[in-house]
Structure 1
Amino acid sequence: MPRVYAKIKASLKIPKIIHLVGTNGKGTTGRFLASALYSLGFSTGHYTSPHILTFNERIWFNGENVSDTRLNEAHQKLLSLLDHQDADSLSYFEYTTLLAVFLYQECDYIVLEAGLGGEHDATAVFENILTLVTPVGFDHEAFLGSDILSIATTKLNAMQKKVILSKQPHKEVMQIAKKIAQEKNIRVADYSELLEAQDKEKIEKIARYHKLAYYLKENLMLSVAALKSLGISYEAEDFKHAKLFGRLSQLETNILIDVGHNTLAARSIYESLKENKYILVYNSFKDKNYSEILTVLQPIIEHVEIIAVEDERIEESTKLKKAIEDLQIKHTSFQGIDADKNYLVFGSFSVVETFLKVHGG
C-alpha cells in the first residue's frame, strides 16, 4: 500500500482526514461523526468495514451508501492510474481503501476507519488531521499480538499530530499513547477533557432519541469530542440520522442484532441487556475466543441456537457445541423466530448477514 500510494499520490486530491483506530466502536463512532459533519454542511465521506449485505455499505458519501454507477466509474478511473502489476499486488482491503479515497476527493472531510490494525493498516498511509482511538481490547491476536501492550502499540503507532482517546477498558492503553505521543511530539487528550456541561446535555438528548445502549453513547461522546477538537459547533439535531445499522439494532420488537465478535463487544452487550434473557442466535469464527464470549453472555442467555454460516473461517460445529455444553448451556440449531420469544443475533458480520438473509426469506 505505501509503495503503490507513493506512485499515484500526486494524482489524488486528499481532503482533511479523521482516522479511527481501535478494537470496537469504530463504525458507530465514525458514522456519528460523519453524519454530524454532513448535517452541518460539510461534504463528508465515511469509509467503514466490513459490510453486512452489500459492498456499497463500506463507502458512505453525504448521507447514503455510494451508488453502483459512481462506484464503477471510480473503479475504472482508479485502474487507469495503476499499472497491472501494482493493481494485482494490492489486497482486497488495500484496493477498497484507495477506491474510497479516490471517490472522496471532493469532500471536505473523510472519516477513515482502520481495518484490524494500526500502523501497518492500509488507511495509515494518508496524512490526517486527527486520530480517534476507540476502546482497545483483544481481537485478531494472530496478527496483532496476544497481550494488550502489543495490540495497543500496533494500533497507536498510527497516531499523527493530534489524538483523542475514548474510555479504555485497559489502563495500559493511555500509558502507551502518552509514551508514543512524547516520542513523536503528538498532542493526546482523553475525550472527557473536551466535553463541557452543555455537550453532556446534548449527548443525553441524542442518546434518548436513538435509544442508545451505554457503549454506543460512549462512541457518541468520542465523536462529539472530535467536533470540539476541530472547533466545529453543533446541535443535537445534527445527529438525527447518525445511528449505524447492526450495532445493537432493534430489527423487530423481539429481535436485536449486533455484529460484535469479540469479548470486549460481549461485555458491552451484557452491560446493556443484563436485565433480560434472550435466545442467542450464534456462530463463531475459528480464531475467536468463543468460550470466553459465551461465558460473558451466559447470564443473559436462555439457550443458544446455532445458525449455519457458509464461510471457511467458521468453527467446526462439533467444537462450538462442545464449548457450549461445557458451559452447561442448552443449544439447538436455528430454525426460525418464535414471535413470543426475545432474540439476540450476535457473533460476527457474517452471522448477522446470514440471519438477515434467512429471516428475510
Structure 2
Amino acid sequence: MTYSAATAYLYGLQKHGIKLGLENMRALMERLGHPERRVRSLHIGGTNGKGSTAAMTAAILQAAGYRVGLYTSPHLVDFRERIRINQVMIPEQRVAELTGRLQAVLASDLVPTFFELTTAMAFLYFAEAAVDVAVLEVGLGGRFDATNVVEPLACAVTTIALDHQDYLGNTERSIGFEKAGIIKPGVPVVLGRIAGEALAVIREIARERAAPVMALERDFSLDRAGPGQFSYQGRTRAVRNLSCALAGRHQLDNAACAVALIEAAEGKGLAVSDDAVRRGLASVLWEGRLECVEQDPAVFLDGAHNPAAAQVLAAYLGDWLASRPGARLILVWGMMRDKDHRGFIEPLLPLVSEVVLTRADMARSATVQDLREAIGGRIPRCHDSPAAAEALALAKTRAARPDLICVAGSLMLVGEVKALIRGCGLSPLRG
C-alpha cells in the first residue's frame, strides 16, 4: 500500500462520522495484541488548552532524555502531524504499512471511524518504536473517546467550557462529567482552572475512584513574573525562573498543568530534573495557537473556536494592541456551522477595526452570511471573501505595516492558511 492509498482509505472513514464509545477500540486493541498496554502514557483532556499542555509535557520529557510519543488532533496541514516521536512525524511508509495491518484485522463486525483507526495506529507505532512514554491528547470529551482505553501514569483536565454540546451536553456539569471519564481508579488527576459545577462533578468522580487530585491554585500554583515568565510551586517541587515559548497569559496555566502532570507521574517511574522543565518549556513548539507567521503587518494564526477561547484570544490581542498605539486589528474569521458564532465574536468586537468573513473548504463550514448575522452590523468594515487565500490577500491589502491581522475561528481555516504560507498541499480531512 502506498501512503496516498493509505490516507485515501483513512479519509474515506469520515463517512462514519463521530461515534462515541469504546466497543470498537477495545475490539481493535484485542485483535492487535493490546499495544496500548505496552507503553506508559499520560492522558490529557479538557475543552481548551489540552493540545498545548500535551505539547509542553512532551517537550519537557524529551528534554529529560526520554523517547516521547505525542498523539494530538486535529492536524493542520499534514496527517502525520498527529503522530510524532520526539517531534518527528510518523514516516509516510509507516502510515502505509500500519494502515494495511489495521485493515487486515477488521471484519464485517468491526467498522471503525477515522479517529478510532488513527488512534489505533498511534498505539501500534508507539509500542513498536518502544517509546519511553506516550503523551495522549483526548479527541472529544473523554469518557467515550477512543484514547480512553489506556491506563495512564497520570491524567489531566485543563479547562471546562461549553463546546461540542451535541455530544457532551449543554451544561458545564455535563461536560465536566464527560471529561472526567478519563479518570481511572487510583490514577492521579491534575486539574487546571476549573470552577463551579464542572469542578464539583470532577471531584465527585475522582473521590469515587480514589484518584488523587492536584488542582491549580490549591495543590500547585504559578507566580507570574512577566510575559511568558513564571515560577512553579507544587506539592513536592518548586521550579523558579521558567520561560514558556508559547504566547499568551493562558499558556502559563497550561505550562503549570504540564509540570504538575509530570510531578504526579514522578512517583511512577518518571524522573525529570528542574533543568529539563526549563529547557522543555523554553523550546516547545505548537503551531496554530497565537502563532506569528509574518511581520509588517503582523499575521497571527489562532485556532480558537469557542467563546471561552475567544476571551483568551481577545485578552492577548488587547495587550498587543495596547502596546502599539495606532495599530488596528483586522480579523479573518471563519467557523464551523455548529459552533457559537455570536458567543465567539462578542469578546473580540471592541478590538476589531475590520473583519474579512470567509470559510474553510469543508462542508461543515459556516457561510459568510451566517457570520455576518452574528456580527449584526457591529463591525462597519465587514468584507466577504469566499476562500482562505482570497481572504488573507484582502486582509493584507487593508492593513498598514503597524497593524495586526489575526486568522481565527477554526483550526481548519488556520490549517488552510498555513498550507498557503508553506506553499504545499493540504490533507483533505482535518477533523
Match of 1:205 among 242, 249, 253: 242
Tell me which residue corresponds to 1:99. 121
Distance 1:177 1:28 in 2: 21
Match of 1:353 among 382, 393, 415: 415
> Does structure 1 conserve the Cα–Cα contact (< 8 Å) formed by 2:61 and 2:272?
no
Q: How does 1:265-304 map to 2 (within 5 A)?
A: 265-275=309-319, 276=321, 277-304=328-355
Q: Give the superposition deviation at 1:11.
A: 4.9
Distance 2:55 2:151 in 1: 20
Match of 2:152 among 111, 125, 128: 128
Distance 1:196 1:269 in 2: 21
Secondary structure in structure 1 of the residue aligned to 2:242: helix
Measured at CA, do residues 19 and 86 of structure 1 come closer, stay the same or move farther in structure 2, by a change above 3 Å?
A: farther
**Structure 1: which amino acid aligns with 2:257?**
L
Distance 1:19 1:109 in 2: 11
Secondary structure in structure 2 of the residue aligned to 1:124: coil
> Does structure 1 conserve the Cα–Cα contact (< 8 Å) formed by 2:318 and 2:351?
yes
Q: Give the superposition deviation at 1:308.
A: 3.7
Secondary structure in structure 1 of the residue aligned to 2:75: coil
**Structure 2: which amino acid aligns with 1:250?**
C
Tell me which residue corresponds to 1:227. 262
Measured at CA, do residues 202 and 270 of structure 1 come closer, stay the same or move farther in structure 2, by a change above 3 Å?
A: farther
The percent of aligned pairs where both chains have the same amino acid is 26
Tell me which residue corresponds to 2:77. 53
Secondary structure in structure 2 of the residue aligned to 1:286: coil
Tell me which residue corresponds to 2:137. 113
CA-based RMSD of the aligned residues comes to 2.1
Tell me which residue corresponds to 1:165. 191
TM-score by length of 1: 0.92
Aligned residues: 356
Q: Give the superposition deviation at 1:84.
A: 3.1
Residue 42, structure 1, aligned to residue 75, structure 2: no
Q: Give the superposition deviation at 1:8.
A: 2.2
Secondary structure in structure 2 of the residue aligned to 1:267: helix
Distance 1:165 1:11 in 2: 29
Distance 1:303 1:216 in 2: 27
> Does structure 1 conserve the Cα–Cα contact (< 8 Å) formed by 2:355 and 2:379?
no
Measured at CA, do residues 154 and 302 of structure 1 come closer, stay the same or move farther in structure 2, by a change above 3 Å?
A: same
Q: Higher helix share goes to which structure?
A: 1
Q: Give the superposition deviation at 1:175.
A: 1.2
Deviations 1:138-165 (A, max 9, x none): 1111111111111111111221121010
**Structure 1: which amino acid aligns with 2:354?**
H
Q: Give the superposition deviation at 1:74.
A: 2.5
Tell me which residue corresponds to 2:304. 260
Q: Give the superposition deviation at 1:127.
A: 1.6
Q: Which runs of 5+ in 2 are unaligned?
A: 1-23, 224-230, 322-327, 385-390, 424-431
Distance 2:357 2:50 in 1: 27
Tell me which residue corresponds to 1:189. 214
Residue 64, structure 1, aligned to residue 115, structure 2: no
TM-score by length of 2: 0.77
**Structure 1: which amino acid aligns with 2:363?**
E
Match of 2:284 among 227, 242, 248: 242
Distance 1:222 1:298 in 2: 30
Distance 2:188 2:32 in 1: 23
**Structure 2: which amino acid aligns with 1:226?**
L
